[in-house]
Amino acid sequence: MVGVSACDDPSILEALTRKPDRAGDRALLDDVLDEARVGVLSTVVDGQPWSVPLLFARDGDAILLHGSSGAGMLRHVGAGAPVAFTVFVMDALVIADTLFDHSANYRSAVIRGTTEIVDDALHVLEMLSDKLIPGRVAEVREATRKELAATVALRLPIVDGQWIAKARSGGPGADAAGWTGVVPMRTVFDDPITYTGTEPPASVRALSAG
């Protein structure tokens, strides 16, 4: 089944030790980061593992993250604690005629490093919004100083030697006598559900129309 390779030796974390043929280049890394909307930020606090899923956006050679200034984990990593950020996009279920040979087609990435606090929280909020809801930034009021003060914005640089991108595609790898195949998967938006106001704005309507 699917997994991102792990290794206890930090010196070889930059390379896949299992199925190295699935390793991808920077183009694959950017593709995964630009398509996925949620990643998992992980670190160690007082000797204990700590992970949290976060919305994110790629800005060139960096990953942008944000959250509440009251979040202890974000303050911890913002102070320089090492982190790993993982992203996974599932493209299809791969159906074999044995349970052992079932698999999935996917694209994944693991980025390691240390985050930096971004002074311009508004830029991070706008980048995230533009990724999640293209065009929404122009439709809303400006963020207030109070809102920006309550936001911690982080930047995780993408550094050569500190990331791995991995992908699988195709059908089952084993010969089979019974039915095998692939069931593609994709993410779609349903029609918006109105809570207040009348007509959903253009950026929201475009999500379900795309």
Residue-range domain boundaries for the chain: 15-182
- Contact (Cβ atoms closer than 8 angstroms) between residue 106 and residue 117: no
Considering the segment(s) 15-182 as one domain, its CATH architecture is: Roll (2.30)
Strand-pairing partners, residue 14, are: none
Tell me the whole-structure pTM to 2 decimals: 0.86
State whether the Cα torsion 107-112-116-117 is positive or negative.
positive
Tokens of 56: 């994110």
Q: Report the C-alpha gap between 183 and 193 in whole angstroms.
A: 29
- Measuring CA to CA, which residue among 58, 54, 80, 83 is closest to residue 151? 54
Q: Report the C-alpha gap between 143 and 147 in whole angstroms.
A: 6
**Residue 99, pLDDT above cutoff 50:** yes
pLDDT grade for 78, boundaries at 50, 70 and 90: confident
pLDDT grade for 209, boundaries at 50, 70 and 90: confident
pLDDT grade for 19, boundaries at 50, 70 and 90: low
Tokens of 85: 């950020």
pLDDT given at position 68:
78
